[in-house]
Homo-oligomer: A and B are copies of this chain.
Amino acid sequence: MSVGHTAVTTEPVVSCGGEEEDCGIREVLDRIGDKWSVLVVVELAQGVRRFRRLQRAIPGISQRMLTLTVRRLERDGLVRRTVYPTVPPQVEYELTAMGHSLTHLVRALADWSADHRSAIADSRHRWDAANPGSDIR
């Protein structure tokens, strides 16, 4: 076994149970693996948000993409959208119970990211130095 790693943990092995290939990971990744979904979930994990505030909280997202993103999250049952028929219109977004359960995963993702971000950056620099002129990003 490979070793030397700090606390050997419990030997992961993702396998999915044998001959299967996909599990169902692609299904989740197709929803939260896009450019903005996770950031929206992170912001909504903080509490109820209206459209504008959500947009301001996520620098760089266009109004079009915010609309598409929350609409898809709503469709998947991760976000609840509430419209108050006032003038001007007021729409609130919040996570559903399922949406909240997703935040655990996002947290794990953020933690892993923080732990390995510098190692990844280093590896990348070394690779780029060793492979001059490669268009792999």
Contacts and interface: CB of A to CB of B under 8 A. Distances in A.
Interface of A: 2, 4-6, 8-9, 11-16, 21-29, 31-35, 38-39, 41-43, 45-47, 57-59, 68, 71-72, 74-77, 96-98, 100-110, 112-114, 116-117, 119-120, 122-124, 127-128, 134, 136-137
Given A29-B38, A123-B77, A100 B5 contact: yes
A39 B72 CA distance: 24
Given A42-B14, A137-B72, A119 B6 contact: no
Contacts of A31: 120
B24 A117 contact: yes
Given A23-B42, A120-B76, A136-B72, A12 B100 contact: yes
Given A101-B116, A136-B68, A123 B27 contact: no
